[in-house]
Amino acid sequence: MKASEIKEMTLVEMNNKLVDLRKELFNLRFQHAVNQLDNPMRIKAVKKDIARIKTFIREQESKNDSARN
């Protein structure tokens, strides 16, 4: 997932995507624990996507807070 794709999302869409990515990360970790994971680099990619989305969510919240004041 690229930053440009995330910028186009609304806050609700970002939160939904974050939930989906966390579920995917859980499943990947479970597969890794039972040695059924095909691509271990996917875990790293999902973690980075989660961090990107959380960064943009925080940025949006910061913009909303500064607009209120």
Write the pLDDT tens digit of every residue in 11-61.
Answer: 999 999 999 999 999 999 999 999 999 999 999 999 999 999 999 999 998
Q: Provide the pLDDT for residue 24.
A: 97
Residues 6+ apart with CB under 8 A from 40: 32
Angle at 15 between CA 26 and CA 31, to 5 degrees: 10
CA atoms within 13 A on the CB side of 36: 6
Inform me whether the pLDDT recorded for 65 exceeds 90: no
| Domain ranges across the chain | 3-68
Other Cβ atoms within 10 Å of 43 Cβ, number = 16
Q: Provide the pLDDT for residue 9.
A: 92
Inform me whether the pLDDT recorded for 69 exceeds 80: no
DSSP summary character for residue 34: T
Q: Provide the pLDDT for residue 68.
A: 79
Second-level CATH architecture of 3-68: Orthogonal Bundle (1.10)
